[in-house]
Amino acid sequence: MPHDHSHAQGSGGHHHHIDPDAGDARVAGAIAVNLLLTLAQIIGGIVAGSLSLIADALHNLSDAIALIIAFGARKIARRPADARMTFGYDRIEVVAALINYTTLIIIGLYLVYEAILRFFEPAAVAGWVIVAVAGFALLVDLITAALVWRMQAGSMNMRAAFLHNVADALGSVAVIVAGTVILLFGWNWVDPLVTLLIAGYILWQSWSEMPGVIRVLMLGSPPGLDTHAVVDAIEETPGVASAHHVHLWMMGENEPALDAHLVLEDVAPPDATRAAVRDVLATFDIGHSTLEVETPQSACADSVRIGHA
């Protein structure tokens, strides 16, 4: 049965989210400052007796771990396809994002537990230490954001690491507010309250991003594409009688791919029809396609339009 393996690229691009010559030094720098900050926050939290500061430190440690995972994933993703990984290593970035969001959810749930306990057993908190350490933390968070910002736009992996950092920056602001309120009014209960707010944001952020990561790992269709509309467009291509066994998935976050069986009309020229279908797929930014051509007499029996029976 004739096959066609098309690698024409649509505007979605191929590997454009991996820049082999830039970014690694910025990520390494962000890892270093976040590890130093984590140490400073833990010491400050113990000295001040502040749960919210230790909560911020734990989240900052997760920032550093997220950046380490993202850094390693970027390195691995640049490897070319080989006999063991015939699709290449790009998807390691999606796996890294899954690990990072899962870590965030665990941290968020732990902070909720600790904050609730602190409500029942209030503790004295040194507000001035909180404000000083959290102010330093906010500075580091802003430096990290500047280092990572340009790299997160097209990469699920780097966006997960960046969102770790955004959550931590907001956490630092919240901790500063808590420390200031404790200094002015002596309201120690503000400390676990702020911890709950930080945890709530972490959990909301992670749950909102997780479905997109799982969709890629589950070989789901790109969220911006209507699979039925793509199949309809293929079947409307001159020379195509019908299409079946269609699979539409994401090889990476920005790489839609499709394979399908095409039943051609009796007089349709196979090469020209395949080329026409490729042109149609390009309008959907589908750059990788595998097309199997069938005649009405040799078409699969009991075929289903999408997927396999």
**Does any domain span residue 304?**
no
Domain of residue 173, CATH code = 1.20.1510.10
Give the per-residue pLDDT at 21.
47
Same domain, 55 and 179: yes
The continuous run of DSSP H or E covering 244 comes out as strand 240-250
Give the per-residue pLDDT at 13.
33
**Does any domain span residue 16?**
no
**Does any domain span residue 127?**
yes
Give the domain extent around 263: 222-294
**Does any domain span residue 164?**
yes
Same domain, 206 and 237: no
Of 163, 184, 217, which residue is a domain's last?
217
Integer Cα distance of 17 and 254 in angstroms: 8
Kindly report the CA angle at 63 between 50 and 120, in degrees rounded to 5? 30
Same domain, 85 and 170: yes
Q: What is the dihedral of CA 156, 159, 163, 165, to 10 degrees?
A: 140
Give the per-residue pLDDT at 153.
61
Same domain, 213 and 227: no
Of 172, 191, 217, which residue is a domain's last?
217
**pLDDT in single tens digits along all 309 residues of the chain:** 444 444 433 333 333 344 444 567 777 777 888 788 788 878 877 877 777 777 777 767 777 887 888 788 878 888 888 899 888 888 888 888 898 888 888 888 988 988 888 888 766 666 677 778 778 878 877 877 777 776 666 667 777 777 777 777 777 787 788 778 888 887 878 878 888 888 888 888 888 889 988 999 999 999 889 999 999 999 999 999 999 999 999 887 778 999 999 999 988 899 999 999 999 999 999 988 999 998 888 888 778 888 875
Integer Cα distance of 119 and 214 in angstroms: 36
Same domain, 47 and 193: yes
Same domain, 168 and 201: yes
Domain of residue 255, CATH code = 3.30.70.1350
